[in-house]
Amino acid sequence: MSSPTSTPSRKRGRASNPSTPGSEGPLSPPSQRARSQDASQGELPPMPTSPATDICSPNPQDTSLFSSPRRSVLPSEVDASSPLLYGTPSSRVEGTPRSGIRGTPARQRPDLGSVRKAPQVDLHSEPPAGENAVASDQAAGQRLVIWGTDVNVGTCKEKFQRFLQRFIDTTSKEDENCGLDLNEPLYMQKLDEISVVGEPVLNVNCGHVQSFDADMYRQLICYPQEVIPTFDMAVNELFFERYPDSILGHQIQVRPYNALKTRNMRSLNPEDIDQLITISGMVIRNSQLIPEMQEAFFRCQVCAFSARVEVDRGRIAEPAVCRNCNTTHSLALMHNRSLFSDKQMIKLQESPEDMPAGQTPHTTVVYAHNDLVDKVQPGDRINITGIYRAAPMRVNPRQSQVKAVYKTHIDVIHFRKTDERRLHGLDDENEQKLFTEERVQTLRELAGKPDVYERLSSALAPSIYEHEDIKKGILLQLFGGTRKDFSQTGRGNFRAEVNILLCGDPGTSKSQLLQYVFNLVPRGQYTSGKGSSAVGLTAYVMKDPETRQLVLQTGALVLSDNGICCIDEFDKMSDSTRSVLHEVMEQQTLSIAKAGIICQLNARTSVLAAANPVESQWNPKKTTIENIQLPHTLLSRFDLIFLMLDPQDEAYDRRLAHHLVALYYKGEEQIEEEYLDMAVLKDYIAYARTYIVPRLCEEASQALIEAYVDMRKIGSGRGMVSAYPRQLESLIRLAEAHAKVRFSEKVETIDVEEAKRLHREALKQSATDPRTGLVDITILTTGMSATARKRKEEIAQALKKMIQAKGKTPAMKYQQLFDDLRAQSEAAITKDLFDEALRALADEDYLTVTGKTVRLL
């Protein structure tokens, strides 16, 4: 710990400065202080007291010293790095060309509150200050700690510098660390960044601190008000030693985050007061900017002598007597020369996920200071790190009677938006769910069972009977495929989400299944096609009533990014609404161009939709398209389309009845024994989604290729195509999802087999041509089965022949032609079919139809 290389000349300059002996103490440069402190530990010198107080102050606990006007004589010369004087605003330097630790002004940290209350004390002079500290004292001799804590400034500083210089985290996954070399000390690289970028803020992950030095971490958590300034001091010394010429706006501030102490607002309790905590929540309200006075400027009305008084715990001690002319009550506050800092009140509400059922969310008041003001907006999900405070409440400002209640708030030190990161395309689920060892063990055990797939699918919505394949499909949807990035080759992201459409008779518990899924997944949304509009699904721009700013409000699809969007009554949706789904369901993005806002939002949403047949009852004589009247462009985007029909079979009925009766009389406990717990299922899915990234193995790829070729072959024999690349992609996704179910890192042949089976099963149900009974994928891709198309051509040809047979008649009556054709043909010809045939001929430029007449060309 050597003195900053850039300072000696200044120091010497100052030493020659004829100053009063009394002001010597606070003016002593940090290097000097540091050395003396070093000495006090290492070499056990006879100097027992704090260097900050030893020279000037007869009473180490006399805090009035620091606010005494004496200091203002040389306002720019006060040592800024002392923790005791930390953040003294009078340390501002007016001169512009500045560099190095002396030249860079310290910036006040109102987030840490007033530190001046806590002078350092010698442990030996006050024994009850904590045995703990004595025990951990490595330097057996005298030991200086900040009053009320066991923090020794010197040791702490040294430790932190060591931490900065040595800490390496090779497993770091945080997005802000991308671009950094993980094998080099992490924070030194960050300091390098600061010197380049010039933003004097160093964010420190408390997790890193903990893994590096548990004792330092404990001190940081317990005495943030004292430890963080020490950290600041340490980092500034280190920084200006390395980058003596860099110019910063103010000295570097350390902002710790991710203190593991508290995660949930609900678990805050009185023991957390004045400690460093991290909680998550949602911003619900921001106050206006509040200018908070930091330092009052007084000027004597008589002699114009000025005095500065710092705010101490929200109060200003107005000097009663002018020290210069000794006039009493002559000092007046000068507003425009006083110092203010920005402050903002933010209300934070518990995130809905953290709440126990049946309770209302808690709220906490948070104060943001200086540059943290206006960093967050209402509606943001954030993690904040700050100091928890409590202050007694007065009943009435004029009465001294107090309510026996404290007001609590958090002074924020660090914000981290949790939803912002989602926009960067990084999976944030790893920070959302942390699994305990045992939990992972149980999950792994479960995954090892051979029938895990069946177990999980039967645990899904146990109250809904049978429909095993549908449940399996939904299970695979919950797991999803592996996300692949092909943006380099120009194709962008491949969709990893599985989309499923359920159609079927009303009353086959489709809605119930949707409700269940919605309740199961953390980021699920449930909408009904009837009630939702295009803007409700996507996003809309609205004017915030308070700020009059245009804000983008996101709809269900964007909100369920990385989740599942359940859309009930899909068929009742208006066409314009449905059209927005095209983009979402294939490109997984949502483009918006509204009111001057043009953007593309991520909507990596799996869609689980339910549709009712048009005729209220499923008509088995019609194709899926005809039954639900959905555009085939949309249908082809669903990986699996299931029909939920009443099977009408005796054995099924019997089992159904048994199931339902059991539902109604069994006790809660029995039910829970029978099935996998919903919580386990949730964790299982979350774990698999986070940690399992299966890749295709060689055999599986071969199997997939074969499967695809087979699918195409089926059709080619009859002159039609029965599979498209989209189907192949579906197969891959399903196979990957199935591998995830098994917690397998490799997609193997069994996964492909199951994907094939499920896909075929779904196809069998939805893409069967009712006329031939054969599976025909073209029903889904073109909206018409191959046989239907063939039939259309036949009729057109028959019509052409008939017209040709009639000889040269330039014009014919429409109705007559129709009647003639019907008389001629052995099969029944509907008006629709006739019209289609006419249209086909018109396309050939053989004839034109104008009103009720048909003309040959």
* Site for another protein, residues 294 to 313, rule: CB under 8 A: 311
Binding residue for another protein, selected from 173, 424, 654, 757, defined by CB under 8 A: 654
Measured between alpha carbons, how far is 54 from 182 in angstroms, rounded to an integer?
44
List the structure tokens of 847.
């004839």
Residue list 821-850, contact with another protein (CB under 8 A): none
Q: How far is the CB of 711 from another protein (least distance, A)?
A: 34
The single residue among 392, 448, 620, 631 that binds another protein, judged by CB under 8 A, is 392
Residue 621 touches another protein, criterion: CB under 8 A = no
Q: Residue 531 carries which DSSP code?
A: T
What number of residues does the chain have? 857
Q: Which amino acid does the sequence have at 219? A: Q
Per CB under 8 A, contacts with another protein among 262-301 are: 268-270, 273, 282, 284-285, 287, 290-293
**Minimum distance, C-beta of residue 364 to another protein, in the bound complex (Å):** 7
- Count other Cβ atoms within 10 Å, centred on residue 227: 28
Q: How far is 209 from 178, CA to CA, in rounded Å? A: 20
332 binds another protein (CB under 8 A): no
Q: What are the backbone dihedrals phi and psi of residue 714, each rounded to the nearest 5 degrees, phi first?
A: -50, -45
| 646 contacts another protein (rule: CB under 8 A) | yes
3-state secondary structure 783-832: CCCHHHHHHHHHHHHHHHHHHHHCCCCCEEEHHHHHHHHHHHCCCCCCHH
Residues 503-542 that bind another protein (CB under 8 A): 507-509, 512, 515-516, 519, 531
User: Residue from 2, 648, 815, 830 that binds another protein (CB under 8 A)?
Assistant: 648
Q: Which is nearer to another protein, 356 or 725 (CB)?
A: 356
DSSP one-letter code for 28: S
- Counting residues that bind another protein (by CB under 8 A) gives 83
Structural tokens at position 560: 């369920």
**Residue 91 beta carbon to another protein: minimum distance, rounded to whole angstroms:** 22
Tokens representing 295? 């330092």
Which of 290, 541 has the CB closer to another protein? 290
Q: Binding of another protein at residue 653 (CB under 8 A)? A: yes
Structure tokens at 327: 């006039």
State the Cα torsion 752-753-757-763 to the nearest 10°: 40
Shortest distance (Å) from residue 510 CB to another protein: 12
User: What SS3 class is residue 138?
Assistant: coil
Q: Which of 315, 548, 808, 831 forms a contact with another protein (CB under 8 A)?
A: 315
336 touches another protein by CB under 8 A? no
Instruction: For 620-659, give one letter per residue: b (16+ CB within 10 A) or e.
Output: eeebbbbbbebebebbbbbbbbbbbbeeeeeeeeeeeeee
How would you classify the pairing of strands 640-644 and 306-310?
A: unpaired
Pick the piece of the chain touching another protein (CB under 8 A) from 99-107, 398-406, 482-490, 755-763: 398-406
> Does 663 sit near another protein (CB under 8 A)?
yes
Out of 390, 645, 714, 812, the only residue in the binding site for another protein (CB under 8 A) is 390
Q: How far is the CB of 110 from another protein (least distance, A)?
A: 10
CA 670 – CA 681 distance, rounded (Å): 18
Q: Which of 16, 170, 359, 549 binds another protein (CB under 8 A)?
A: 359
State the Cα–Cα distance between residues 293 and 316, nearest whole angstrom: 9
Confirm or reject binding of residue 404 to another protein (CB under 8 A): yes
Residue type, 711: M
Member of 185, 207, 244, 361 binding another protein (CB under 8 A): 361
Site for another protein in 432-471 (CB under 8 A): 461-463, 465
Nearer to another protein, 569 or 748 (CB): 569
CB of 458 to another protein, least distance (A): 13
The dihedral region occupied by 625, where left means phi > 0, alpha psi between -120 and 50, and beta the remainder, is alpha
Question: Closest separation between CB of residue 325 and another protein, Å?
Answer: 27
Q: Which one of residues 98, 403, 757, 790 is an interface residue with another protein (CB under 8 A)?
A: 403
3-state secondary structure 619-648: CCCCCHHHHHCCCHHHHCCCCEEEEECCCC
